[in-house]
């Protein structure tokens, strides 16, 4: 009896499936094939180079999953399976009867087992029933299999033409097909949007659609996911190309509700907000408000924070609404702090669009605004639900911004060791905009930062820990503050000078050889960054900089703490730094007495 049958393969094993075309002719007829495109035999084409991953087609009834899937399999030189046909053959009854006898939950459980079994074997093309990918457990199983998922998306008018004359099918019985399809589209499209690839289907021939699907599949790239392991507050950093257009499907699984407020700055919004908006809309995520702030560090203050909060609340933000930060470090810090304090905390998503934000500020949950006393002195730890680092956005950065972001990559190189060797070999390519070099820089920086944050989320380690990520920042923040956060000195530029100063201080105190300051400074200068105080257009005094550093967040019991290095990969924090050594260094590097 079906109720007790494990139709995941007890009677029909992986190597003993009946051919799908025979099953459709002699066995129960699957819902999928019965209302898909006309299904003449695919042409006898030589297959392309074997595709290394399974391909799972999802979409509405009538989208063409079986017809296109069979043709795609022939082109890729892979076997084709129809999940509905496999289920019916194993159960010995039509799916409509399974539903009638045992209900949808039982069917979905069996469907998931069938799909999981099929995807555990050699790569294949698999057409799924319309409701399969809308089931959370099945969707998760498909994603975990490593298959490429492709949504065949059709407009309502196209689907209606394809199902015309099929009103006898159970889902359309005594019902208006348009109403049925609209209801299913509203329920299922948000989940289909989580597919890796979307292909818009029209009334073109199946062969034309199949060619477009094949191109999309063969060019599909799976973004890399780096976990930030913080228990119930853990999340993924997703790195890849084209993520803005897929943002809805990528963030939907971690949202408590499909409502967001987007915070950006005017410059970034003009470039990237349309793509993000389209990506959110594809997953039926409602944007309650789009809030743009002026570009630059001056937006990180309490006045701007209050304005953002007021506009969020006026738009209808509640505790299940997510704040999405689209932009660089300023936007991420500001929007993240707003999310941390709005209604005592609402969900938060980071969509960094600058190199500096992708490699550093978007990961770790530090949020805040600046005070007159110094940078980021008011803030909160508020971890995002997910970070989407779309590396395509880096192509729109001005060269100066790209170079400034690279300073944080160099910092991570000094912290990690092997990455510093990569920096010296490939840093020039990264700042020149080489896509592969930038992707590597983002991935490795995020990998390092994720590990450090997981070990010391709130920077509470007595020695080392997350404080090590501030290498160069004690000096850098002081320089920024003295410039008034007016844009004349970018954060990354200040960090670059800070790295040179930290290396020089380390050498003066005997912690590293004299080779390292010159090596660090030479590399940063070669990448087009300022590396010494004298490289900056602003004039500084020793007293002013020392006063700023005395208020640094890392200080303890009134003592300044510095991050020092013995060499790449060997970095530590210390409070045992004579004040005279610091003042002498600043004076020698060009600060006035």
Active site residues: 344, 366, 408, 449, 459, 466, 470, 473, 477, 491
- Tell me: is residue 111 an annotated ligand-binding position: no
Q: Quote the CA–CA distance of 342 and 314 in Å, as a whole number.
A: 12
* 56 annotated to a ligand binding site: no
366 annotated to a ligand binding site = yes
- Rounded to the nearest 10 degrees, how much is the dihedral formed by the CA atoms of 351, 353, 359, 360? -70
293 is in an annotated binding site: no
- H or E element: which one contains 353? none
Tell me, what DSSP letter sits at residue 130? T
Phi and psi torsions of 236, nearest 5°: -105, 145
Is residue 63 part of an annotated ligand binding site? yes
**Is 64:37 a contact under the CB 8 Å cutoff?**
yes
Spatial distance between the Cα atoms of 440 and 447, rounded to a whole number of angstroms: 10
Q: Is 332 annotated as a binding residue?
A: yes
Residue 376, φ and ψ in degrees, nearest 5? 55, 30
> Rounded to the nearest 5°, which phi and psi values hold at 308?
-60, -45
3-state secondary structure 382-432: CCCCEEEEEHHHHHHCCHHHHHHHHHHHHHHHHHHCHHHHHHHHHHHHHHC
Q: Determine whether the annotation assigns residue 333 to a binding site.
A: yes
The answer to the question of whether 394 is labelled as a binding residue is: yes
Q: Which of 145, 136, 142 is nearest to 188 (CA)?
A: 136
User: Is 353 part of any known ligand binding site?
Assistant: yes
CB-CB neighbours of 88 under 10 Å: 24
**Helical H segments across 417-490, by residue range:** 418-431, 435-455, 473-482
Cα distances from 355 to residues 119, 389, 395, 471, in angstroms, run: 37, 9, 10, 18
Burial classification of residue 228, based on how many CB atoms lie within 10 Å of its CB (0-12 exposed, 13-18 middle, 19 or more buried):
buried
Closest C-alpha to 310, from 348, 277, 338:
338
The answer to whether 435 and 208 are in contact (CB under 8 A) is no
372 is in an annotated binding site: no
CA dihedral of residues 253, 257, 261, 264 (deg, nearest 10)? -10
**The pair of three-digit structure tokens given for residue 304, joined into one six-digit string:** 């701007």
128 assigned ligand-binding residue: no
Please tell me whether 364 is known to bind a ligand: no
Question: What burial class does residue 564 get, using C-beta atoms within 10 Å of its C-beta: 0-12 exposed, 13-18 middle, 19+ buried?
Answer: buried
330 appears as a binding residue in the annotation: yes
Question: Is 329 marked as a binding-site residue?
Answer: yes
Q: Is 64 annotated as a binding-site member?
A: yes
Q: Is 66 annotated as a binding residue?
A: yes
Cα 477 to Cα 261, 285, 415: the distances in Å are: 30, 38, 19
Cα atoms in the Cβ-side hemisphere of radius 13 Å centred on 522 = 7
* Alpha helices by DSSP H, 103-228: 104-119, 136-144, 156-163, 177-192, 206-218
Query: Per the annotation, does 365 bind a ligand?
Result: no
CB burial class (10 A; 0-12, 13-18, 19+) of residue 174? Answer: exposed
523 annotated as belonging to a binding site for a ligand? no
Q: Is 65 labeled as ligand-binding?
A: yes
Is residue 138 part of an annotated ligand binding site? no
Q: Is 427 annotated as a binding residue?
A: no
| 188 annotated ligand-binding residue | yes
408 is in an annotated binding site: yes
- Residue ranges at the known binding site for Mg(2+): 66
- Residue ranges at the known binding site for substrate: 84, 108, 130, 188
- Residue ranges at the known binding site for Zn(2+): 408, 473, 491
- Residue ranges at the known binding site for NAD(+): 329-333, 353-354, 366, 375, 393-396
- Residue ranges at the known binding site: 62-67, 84, 108, 130, 169, 188, 329-333, 353-354, 366, 375, 393-396, 408, 473, 491
- Residue ranges at the known binding site for ATP: 62-67, 169
């Amino acid at each position: 009896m079906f109720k007790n049958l494990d139709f995941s393969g007890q009677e029909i094993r992986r190597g003993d499936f009946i051919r799908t075309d025979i099953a459709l002719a002699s066995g129960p007829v699957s819902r999928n094939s019965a209302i898909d495109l006309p299904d003449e035999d695919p042409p006898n084409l030589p297959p392309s180079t074997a595709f290394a991953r399974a391909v799972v087609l999802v979409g509405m009834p009538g989208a063409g999953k079986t017809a296109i899937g069979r043709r795609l399999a022939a082109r890729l030189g892979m076997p084709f399976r129809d999940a509905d046909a496999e289920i019916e053959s194993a159960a010995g009854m039509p799916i409509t009867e399974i539903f009638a006898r045992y209900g949808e939950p039982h069917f979905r459980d069996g469907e998931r087992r069938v799909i999981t079994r099929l995807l555990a074997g050699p790569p294949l093309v698999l057409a799924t029933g319309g409701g399969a990918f809308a089931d959370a457990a099945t969707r998760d199983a498909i994603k975990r299999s490593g298959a490429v998922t492709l949504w065949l998306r059709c407009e309502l008018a196209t689907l209606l033409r394809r199902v015309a004359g099929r009103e006898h099918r159970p889902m359309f019985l005594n019902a208006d097909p348009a109403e049925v399809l609209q209801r299913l589209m509203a329920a299922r499209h948000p989940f289909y949007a989580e597919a890796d690839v979307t292909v818009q289907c029209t009334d073109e021939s199946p062969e034309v659609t199949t060619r477009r699907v094949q191109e999309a599949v063969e060019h599909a790239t799976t973004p890399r996911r780096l976990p930030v392991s913080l228990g119930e507050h853990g999340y993924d950093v997703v790195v890849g190309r084209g993520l803005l257009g897929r943002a809805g499907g990528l963030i939907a699984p971690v949202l408590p509700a499909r409502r967001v407020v987007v915070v950006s700055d005017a410059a970034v919004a003009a470039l990237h907000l349309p793509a993000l908006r389209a990506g959110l809309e594809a997953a039926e995520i409602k944007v309650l408000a789009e809030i743009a702030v002026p570009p630059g560090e001056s937006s990180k203050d309490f006045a701007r924070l209050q304005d953002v909060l007021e506009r969020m609340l006026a738009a209808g933000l509640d505790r299940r609404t997510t704040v999405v930060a689209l932009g660089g470090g300023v936007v991420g810090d500001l929007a993240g702090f707003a999310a941390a304090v709005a209604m005592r905390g609402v969900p938060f998503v980071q969509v960094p669009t600058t190199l500096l934000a992708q490699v550093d500020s978007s990961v770790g949950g530090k949020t805040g605004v600046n005070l007159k006393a110094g940078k980021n002195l008011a803030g909160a730890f508020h971890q995002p639900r997910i970070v989407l680092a779309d590396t395509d956005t880096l192509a729109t950065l001005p060269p100066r911004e790209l170079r400034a972001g690279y300073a944080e990559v160099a910092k991570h190189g000094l912290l990690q060791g092997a990455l510093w060797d990569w920096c010296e070999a490939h840093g020039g390519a990264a700042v020149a905009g080489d896509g592969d070099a930038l992707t590597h820089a983002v991935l490795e920086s995020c990998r390092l930062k994720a590990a450090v944050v997981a070990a010391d989320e709130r920077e509470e380690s007595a020695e080392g820990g997350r404080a090590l990520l501030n290498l160069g920042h004690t000096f850098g923040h002081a320089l920024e503050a003295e410039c008034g956060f007016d844009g004349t000195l970018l954060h990354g530029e200040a960090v670059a000078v800070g790295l040179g100063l930290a290396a020089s201080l380390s050498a003066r105190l005997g912690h590293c050889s004299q080779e390292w300051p010159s090596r660090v400074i030479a590399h940063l200068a070669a990448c087009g960054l300022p590396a010494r105080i004298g490289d900056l257009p602003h004039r500084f005094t020793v007293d002013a900089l020392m006063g700023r550093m005395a208020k640094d967040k890392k200080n303890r019991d009134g003592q300044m703490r510095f991050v020092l290095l013995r060499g790449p990969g060997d970095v530590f924090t210390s409070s045992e730094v004579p004040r005279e050594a610091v003042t002498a260094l600043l004076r020698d590097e060009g600060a006035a007495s």
